[in-house]
Structure 1
């Protein structure tokens, strides 16, 4: 399986998950709008998600896979199994203790870290409110307690998924997150069928998140056993392998979770304004579709490929892999960013505007989505650049870079929030993302770990040219289709107009991309020939 097909495998599975995530967010927006229950659920869910990215996905994709691959290459499956069992046992014990402490001290965590705005909330005299400040605080604590064990399930799942990825079994680990969307969609359907109140729906969704975590862990564990690999739970011991993992994983945890750190900081600050947390969350979903499809695919596939190439001493292959990955990232994310920046309002209206999500909210979410879109290429580029450090077991350099950009995000968010509200947080996230990507690239170039070939430079320029031409076509079409993109046209009319608008935009982009050579035509032809070849 070549590199492009591996990206397609992981990206396709992630795309399915993101599409169902859209359906979930659409239903949630209709059921909860941007009210206090939606804010409480989003705040509570973001916290375990942050730690999942920091101490599970980010750390293990960056630290565990290269070490596991070394044991696999040098000592065979037996050595790899012993190493994995050591790490699994320690991780299991640490997560159990962390979960117990979090459940006990959750009120303090909510008031100081998760949602400090709720701790200083003051009820407006004489104002009609769905929930008082104290009630908003209490349900946020309750939702957080229910969902926090999801962190443990997903952290253990991330390790098992890392084992699958090291064996180049990418699909099941990428497909497992879809279970979360299936379960929450079922919960929302049940709430609609029974006519449940918003608070009851929030509790049902919180329990659904926990059930989804258990189901995802079970799915990847079954796949690991099916391929004939297993790990054992033993008494945790301090070993050289564990020490080396912690040395690498500490910085890698910060680096791998930079996007979640930025979003978490933004939501914590946004908790000072009612509804702002939900606005950020709803804007994040359309932006996460291309980011997940391309960024996650590159992050999952590129690190194992680079690690194997470097361990084998194939430096030319490693350079080629890095350049083609960057090419692939820009080819798909630049046009997506242009489209999301130019036409966010029709997209938000078609996805969300129904039920409790009224027209007055559409403009606010669209404005945030447009600002997020400007940072989309940056966050995908971070996924391309960081494996260049991780595959060489260097996590210190990107740790300092990521820490600096995270600090910049906090400062910018605090400064801009009081002027631009949730739009200021989105702008700060975007600026911090570009700062991070730029510093990572500069570090690789300065140390001679990245050499851009002529094909990359040429195709990058042509990608931006093709995306610019597509943007011009979108703006021209928007003036023609504008009457059909308003609420008066109905959902069916708006959806048809949006599909036509994006379809023509995509056709323009891909036509220019293939005509100018922005896309590697020879590579695409080989891919389709290989797919069309009958199995032997």
Structure 2
């Protein structure tokens, strides 16, 4: 479900004086030479490009994983798919609240600030204590969840109670995947250490392990739905251990002296926890949306899988754009706030806003203009039937108009976090929960079904964006410049052109898919017509967007050359 966000992301630095690692308050000073490590990695464009490039590889591997798993498990044709999706989502719910949500959002600015002000040794001591605390908390949570899983399942999937086979399988698979939580908590914290030190390669690459390990586990089990569900669940656990190990190795190689130890409630850890509590409440509020959506979808056979499949597809732009830019933006914005560089704060936000929308709006346009074409071409095979594609496409359309909002939350929230304000985003998240709950229940009962649940998630996301943006505007913290607004309008025009092209192609799909099939048949290929047709349409839409983007000067060649130079 949407994060909803959520690397992600689906996030705090206070204005001077700020608490130091020792727990005292002191004004910020210029960083010593040893703190320059925190600045490595270049500008936000370059950092985002590195992270996005690796995320793209991960998403492509994830797409291959989803195609294989969907074909192996199906959706509405048995209990395996819904049980597996429950097992995958349950530890992720807590991961988004604690590991990659509140704790990480509080830890990254604190670590970056300490690295800048007090040096590497003190910063690594903060990281060591924080690691012990988050590992202890998530291991304890995992043990409690394992022991109470049958009772928890009656709460998180009420609809499963009418299907004993689906209920029992969901309990067992979720118990297998639950230890993924502490592994991801450790990986997320170490990834934050790497990001604060300007190292984005491993933090962008480690999710690839999950996809590769799951592919290796599921491919041999195809043909056996239950066996494939077990294989995928065990692969989640194996991947979590591998990801934590990779991030540990990378952090040590980057020079971070972080060790495992017993949890200690040091002043620095207390400060991080205090900062994280409002964000945890806010993230919990977001995950209540996930809980409501999951419970409603559990009443429809295949509903969880339809929703999860649509969710994964729209998460592609969120992961590539929102998470990547948000990760690169937060440390940069935190340093600008610490140094009271208002010009840099404005420039960072404008750059993040226009860059994210230049990549997000065309993706949202495509998801809304050809949802069934996308789902049918990508997933309809094996046990994933046409009825599954139709219902998934309906949900995808509703998620599509929420995609810009999901990304904007990732851009606007760091403006609060960089100033140590986690309370305001928490309040706004709670409001969005009420909106989501009312819309989801109302639309579901009105007969919208799974599509109504997706529409509620998008509506709640836009509510959150309007509240965040309005607060920043009223406080004078951030108001998009005239140049940024002008560029956004031109980007929207280019995205609309893409929507027209791919929408017409989807409407007249059969007229050009048949010639593609004939061409492939003449070359000896009996399959791949719909996939090839989708590639052609996607390429045509992308080319249309680029032409219009350059024609309207939403993007200029000078900026492209600048990006290339900065990347080098």
| Shared fold, TM over 0.5 | yes
User: Hey, which of these two has a bigger chunk of helix by percent?
Assistant: 1
1:59 maps to 102
- In 1, the alpha carbon distance for the partners of 2:514 and 2:397 equals 18
Contact 1:187 1:205 in 2 (8 A): yes
1:408 maps to 435
Instruction: Please list the CA deviations of residues 307-332 of structure 1 after superposition, one character each: whole Å capped at 9, or x if unmatched.
Output: 11111221110110001100011111
1:69 aligns with 2:112: yes
Q: Which of these residues, 177, 187, 201, is aligned with residue 147 of structure 1?
A: 177
Superposition pairs of residues 359-508 of structure 1, within 5 angstroms: 359-418=386-445, 419-485=447-513, 489=517, 491-508=527-544
* Distance change in 2, residues 1:141/1:479 (3 Å): closer
Q: Which runs of 5+ in 1 are unaligned?
A: 122-132
- In 2, the alpha carbon distance for the partners of 1:169 and 1:305 equals 13
Contact 1:10 1:170 in 2 (8 A): yes
Contact 2:82 2:304 in 1 (8 A): yes
Q: Which of these residues, 320, 323, 326, is aligned with residue 299 of structure 1?
A: 326
Superposition pairs of residues 345-360 of structure 1, within 5 angstroms: 345-360=372-387
- In 2, the alpha carbon distance for the partners of 1:50 and 1:484 equals 42
1:43 aligns with 2:86: yes
- In 2, the alpha carbon distance for the partners of 1:82 and 1:61 equals 16
- In 2, the alpha carbon distance for the partners of 1:494 and 1:145 equals 38
Q: Which runs of 5+ in 2 are unaligned?
A: 1-41, 518-525
1:124 maps to none
User: 1:201: how far off?
Assistant: 1.5
Contact 1:259 1:379 in 2 (8 A): no
Contact 2:373 2:506 in 1 (8 A): no
- In 2, the alpha carbon distance for the partners of 1:258 and 1:293 equals 24
3-state SS in 2 of match to 1:105: helix
Contact 1:59 1:252 in 2 (8 A): yes
2:151 maps to 108
- How many residues align? The count is 516
User: 1:82: how far off?
Assistant: 1.4
Contact 2:176 2:234 in 1 (8 A): yes
User: 1:185: how far off?
Assistant: 0.6
1:130 maps to none
- In 2, the alpha carbon distance for the partners of 1:61 and 1:325 equals 20
- In 1, the alpha carbon distance for the partners of 2:95 and 2:110 equals 20
User: 1:484: how far off?
Assistant: 3.8
Instruction: Please list the CA deviations of residues 390-424 of structure 1 after superposition, one character each: whole Å capped at 9, or x if unmatched.
Output: 00010000100011102221221111122211011
1:169 aligns with 2:199: yes
* Distance change in 2, residues 1:107/1:233 (3 Å): same
Contact 2:374 2:534 in 1 (8 A): yes
2:20 maps to none
Instruction: Please list the CA deviations of residues 411-470 of structure 1 after superposition, one character each: whole Å capped at 9, or x if unmatched.
Output: 211111222110110110110111111111001111111021121011011111111122
User: 1:478: how far off?
Assistant: 3.8
Superposition pairs of residues 28-427 of structure 1, within 5 angstroms: 28-34=69-75, 35-112=78-155, 114-119=156-161, 121=162, 133-192=163-222, 195=223, 197-255=224-282, 261-418=288-445, 419-427=447-455
- In 2, the alpha carbon distance for the partners of 1:335 and 1:259 equals 26
Contact 1:327 1:456 in 2 (8 A): yes
3-state SS in 1 of match to 2:259: coil
1:126 maps to none
1:512 maps to 548
- In 1, the alpha carbon distance for the partners of 2:532 and 2:330 equals 40
3-state SS in 1 of match to 2:119: helix
1:26 maps to 67
After TM superposition, the structure 1 stretch with the greater mean CA deviation from structure 2, 163-172 or 408-417, is 408-417
User: 1:341: how far off?
Assistant: 0.4
User: 1:51: how far off?
Assistant: 0.7
- In 2, the alpha carbon distance for the partners of 1:442 and 1:487 equals 51
1:129 maps to none
1:9 maps to 50
User: 1:268: how far off?
Assistant: 2.2
User: 1:141: how far off?
Assistant: 0.7
TM-score (norm. length: structure 1): 0.93
User: 1:522: how far off?
Assistant: 2.4
* Distance change in 2, residues 1:517/1:264 (3 Å): farther
- The CA RMSD over aligned residues, in Å, is 1.8
- In 2, the alpha carbon distance for the partners of 1:510 and 1:33 equals 37
TM-score (norm. length: structure 2): 0.88
Contact 2:321 2:356 in 1 (8 A): yes
1:127 maps to none
- In 2, the alpha carbon distance for the partners of 1:468 and 1:392 equals 36
User: 1:85: how far off?
Assistant: 1.6
Q: Which of these residues, 515, 525, 528, is aligned with residue 561 of structure 2?
A: 525
- In 2, the alpha carbon distance for the partners of 1:493 and 1:204 equals 31
User: 1:358: how far off?
Assistant: 1.6
* Distance change in 2, residues 1:451/1:211 (3 Å): same
3-state SS in 2 of match to 1:449: coil
User: 1:255: how far off?
Assistant: 4.1
